[in-house]
Structure 1
């Protein structure tokens, strides 16, 4: 069993992606995670695409609880007293309206580390505004860097980058707050605004803009010998050979003397001016062999390249499998499913997937019994739709 966060109890009052991803990682690191779900349906992610909920909620216990009811509030108070971390993921002010703002939480448990993940924070002018990843990327300027150089912004990244990065900022901030608590004995209040996190992703691009005085799109968009290229078998590879030594090596390996000897292409900056011409020539060459052949050639040449894997490719990819990143897991209702392992390697014990995502309310009895409630109490709670 992973012991990095052993004996740390997390109350996870979040849904969908940002909060659940953060609490899942805390669970991977050994914390006890109790997921609070609103009866009768629980986290809306449960009824989305099969596998979505399961991919974000392993290593957790599920407790259904109506926080609008008086008994539900009493149960929640008891959980807060025994908790180290409370994580919530709703619009600004939701938990406060339920009677559990940070001031109230401190009265219940002065050592609690309270972390809120919300689109626009708790107290900003937009705190009550709904939002999704595309909205946060838009307001932060991230979307302005997407799409073709002469085209409109294009939300095609394929993963919710702002949401997921917010989860990681929340995780690191929670760990920092726990460390601080060890020194001071005091809890903390952490506010993670997803839009703010998206702005932080722009750090180097903002610096570049104010240094150059003009915007640019994707960092790869303006570079020659950098991009995605189709191979003979209809698959794709990535290439990023912008640096001088990589450029010379690429021309040698591909036998492109006409490019290496052309004075127009004598520097990285010069080549960027002729990016379209160079990349079109490279595209012609890469369409002459299959992806596997290029894999052997480019690997031997020590060039910065890689395959464009599909999700189906991942379990059998040599690199992915060697790192044990995508692993099979037996799920009681879905059968064999795939899980992405904790991606950081530790020298000692590795974070592990101990058990699959729970069914709705699976741990009601276990948790309520531990708080002193009897089966008769739970029957009443069930009848009154409190759990």
Structure 2
């Protein structure tokens, strides 16, 4: 084991995306991560397909969704509803540093696997709970899903085409972004709790809620509302505070302009052969451009359709105007910058050959992230974990298998 967190063991009792994302991140950073799954079915996302990645012999497959968030983990399939399964978890807790779970509020208490019980076994334990709405408040007992939270948390109200335009209506983001952000916040909370433990020796309870995270990540849009009392609406690809900062048509498709200051706008006007726009009082400053976007944007659109996307990108980059193409995913993973930064990776698996994976964006010079193991088959490491950590014999493990407590 190598990496900044190679001294840590994490029990990942979570499933779907937010919790597993946090577990994968900790694993990338070197932690030993044991994924606790239900026998027979495992993590819900194992069946979320197609597509599936299938082994050459056709006897093993993993859904692309499961592959998203479960590398660098071992799979232990154990029935936590059974008292003997609960006891196995307790023995693992005694030898672990962190627990991740995303059961409903109070869901693990009936099994004696809640924080109050487990901290008696391991006072240094960092116990991280991820829920849709948090441990308290009027919605605490509701189940939370990313799509639902994007709606309730305001993100969909500011995403999509404005009313009156073709395709108008609220729109979710194309990936489960709230789940991913919650996984990141949960990881930050765990790392903060570990830092506190390093100084004091005491563990603690950490929680992250999807709705809290979504509201927190409204960022400038939240402050636009809080400072004015006016709720922002949908603007398509336009920006509420910066102009021009959106997509524009070209001769063969679309490109994005992200003009962040007045100097860049002046250079853009020169490239578009309309230097007079930069000295026009309606457009000379960003404040003026925001107020007069309805007059400016059509002018820009008429100019950008005169060349191809590639031509514009080359010309504008030479002039120091931030811009870029609207890439499809096949173009993303062939982009020379993406490839140079190692964002396209693969991991070997004994049953599935090469398993593709997306690189971790964190760069640590002394303790770099690593891609040690592919996402596991269900129960792939059950015997290994029970032997090496819990200390069970082969006969004891086989007895548990026969009774369906582990698989």
TM-score using structure 2 length:
0.89
Deviation of 1:180 after TM superposition, in Å, equals 0.7
**1:291 matched to which residue of 2?**
309
**1:10 matched to which residue of 2?**
10
Find the residue that maps to 2:277 and give its secondary structure: helix
Q: Is contact 1:224-1:276 (8 Å) kept? A: no
Find the residue that maps to 2:367 and give its secondary structure: coil
1:44-123 maps to which residues of 2 (within 5 A)? 44-49=44-49, 50=52, 51-123=64-136
Q: Is contact 2:155-2:172 (8 Å) kept? A: no
**2:341 matched to which residue of 1?**
323
**2:189 matched to which residue of 1?**
173
Find the residue that maps to 2:372 and give its secondary structure: coil
**2:59 matched to which residue of 1?**
none
**1:377 matched to which residue of 2?**
396
**2:225 matched to which residue of 1?**
209
**1:182 matched to which residue of 2?**
198
Bigger mean CA offset, 257-266 vs 289-298:
257-266
Deviation of 1:44 after TM superposition, in Å, equals 1.1
Tell me, in whole angstroms, the C-alpha distance in 1 between the residues paired with 2:321 and 2:278. Answer: 16
Deviation of 1:203 after TM superposition, in Å, equals 4.2
**1:126 matched to which residue of 2?**
139
Deviation of 1:140 after TM superposition, in Å, equals 2.3
**1:307 matched to which residue of 2?**
325
Deviations 1:32-56 (A, max 9, x none): 0000000111001111133211121
Alpha-carbon RMSD across the aligned residues, in angstroms, is 2.0
Q: Is contact 1:315-1:321 (8 Å) kept? A: yes
Tell me, in whole angstroms, the C-alpha distance in 1 between the residues paired with 2:3 and 2:226. Answer: 46
**1:19 matched to which residue of 2?**
19
Tell me, in whole angstroms, the C-alpha distance in 2 between the residues paired with 1:346 and 1:223. Answer: 33
1:224-373 maps to which residues of 2 (within 5 A)? 224-234=243-253, 236-241=254-259, 243-257=261-275, 259-370=277-388, 371-373=390-392
Deviation of 1:373 after TM superposition, in Å, equals 1.5
Q: Which runs of 4+ in 1 moved over 6 A?
A: none
Deviation of 1:352 after TM superposition, in Å, equals 1.0
Deviation of 1:320 after TM superposition, in Å, equals 1.2
Q: Is contact 1:147-1:153 (8 Å) kept? A: yes
Tell me, in whole angstroms, the C-alpha distance in 2 between the residues paired with 1:306 and 1:335. Answer: 36
Deviation of 1:2 after TM superposition, in Å, equals 3.0
1:128-167 maps to which residues of 2 (within 5 A)? 128-150=141-163, 154-167=170-183
Q: Is contact 1:143-1:155 (8 Å) kept? A: yes
- Is 1:32 paired with 2:26? no
Tell me, in whole angstroms, the C-alpha distance in 2 between the residues paired with 1:2 and 1:286. Answer: 50
